[in-house]
Amino acid sequence: MTLLKLLNLQHILMLSVFTATANGYYFHTWKQCIYSSPDLSDMEFIEGFYFNKYPVIKFNSTVGMFEGFSDFGIQTAELWNNNTVVLQQFKAAVDTYCKPNAKPYEAAIYSKKERPTVKLSSVMPGDSTHPALVKCSAYDFYPQPIKVYWLKDGVQVTSDVTSTEELPNGDWYYQIHTMLEYTPKSAEKISCVVEHASFTRPMIYDWTPAAPEFEWDIQLLFIIESAALLLGIIIAASGYIYFKIKTSEL
């Protein structure tokens, strides 16, 4: 997925001209370097000149000339367009201003990769007659493109799956959630697979459901019965030993 990348550096110069009512007048320029290609080959430089938020003059490196938006702007644009030195300086801004600034941004922000934190959880438990619902969540990853899917015994599942889009956290990172509905089967292996630019290979996370309540009850009953049996053996053995000791004393 190609994301539009925009590098904005804004310089604001505030000039105040005092009149009888002490009104303020503001002039500022806004430089933009816009590109979508990783090699910066389609870099475009735009600089606008504004007075009290209204555009006066704008230069676009794709057009290669100045454009005026007011009487003063039109006159100034014509003057600058006829000035070879000024025009060449603005045309060269793609290489002298944009690209040198874009490369550090690429390395520090756009080329940054953050591994997702993956968590599997039960949404609805199930048994051999009722479907179960399990969720696979990936948190705090960057960049946005990611692929999350399910496997049953190593085969990708294409049905009974519900997924969200990549959701922005609002802090450059993203999260995504996908749920699988399935009927639990003995020895069946359920896995969530995550593919992301921060991984060198697809990461597989196996789902290990908790034992159903009735299984825990059976195990608890077995433990109690075993303990009771062991206690009975100990009591019987103690009684037999006590009997043998008393018999030998007579």
Return the structure tokens found at 170: 């609002």
Q: Mean pLDDT for each consecutive 10-residue tract of the chain (250 residues)? A: 42 37 71 86 92 91 94 94 94 93 78 91 80 94 94 92 92 94 88 95 90 53 70 68 61
**Distance set, CA 37 to CA 34, 41, 93 (Å):** 10, 6, 18
Residue 137, in any domain of the structure? yes
How many separate domains does the chain show? 2
Last residue of a domain, one of 192, 207, 222: 207
Query: What was the pLDDT predicted at 211?
Result: 58
Residues 45, 48, 54: CA angle, nearest 5 degrees: 155
Residue 41, in any domain of the structure? yes
Which run of H or E residues covers position 29?
strand 25-35
Asked if residue 149 and residue 67 are part of one domain, the reply reads no
Amino acid present at 161:
V
Asked if residue 158 and residue 132 are part of one domain, the reply reads yes
**What is the DSSP-derived secondary structure letter of residue 38?**
T
Asked if residue 179 and residue 85 are part of one domain, the reply reads no
Asked if residue 131 and residue 106 are part of one domain, the reply reads no
Asked if residue 170 and residue 81 are part of one domain, the reply reads no
Asked if residue 132 and residue 102 are part of one domain, the reply reads no
Handedness of CA 146, 152, 155, 156 (dihedral sign): negative
**What is the DSSP-derived secondary structure letter of residue 70?**
S
Which run of H or E residues covers position 68?
strand 65-68
Residue 50, in any domain of the structure? yes
Asked if residue 150 and residue 91 are part of one domain, the reply reads no
What CATH number does residue 190 fall under? 2.60.40.10
Query: What was the pLDDT predicted at 106?
Result: 76
d(CA 91, CA 80): 12
Query: What was the pLDDT predicted at 140?
Result: 95
Query: What was the pLDDT predicted at 245?
Result: 65
What does pTM read for this prediction?
Answer: 0.51
Asked if residue 100 and residue 18 are part of one domain, the reply reads yes
Residue range(s) defining the domain that contains residue 21: 5-110
Asked if residue 67 and residue 134 are part of one domain, the reply reads no
Are the C-beta atoms of 77 and 129 separated by less than 8 Å? no
Which run of H or E residues covers position 30?
strand 25-35
Residue 237, in any domain of the structure? no
What CATH number does residue 19 fall under? 3.10.320.10
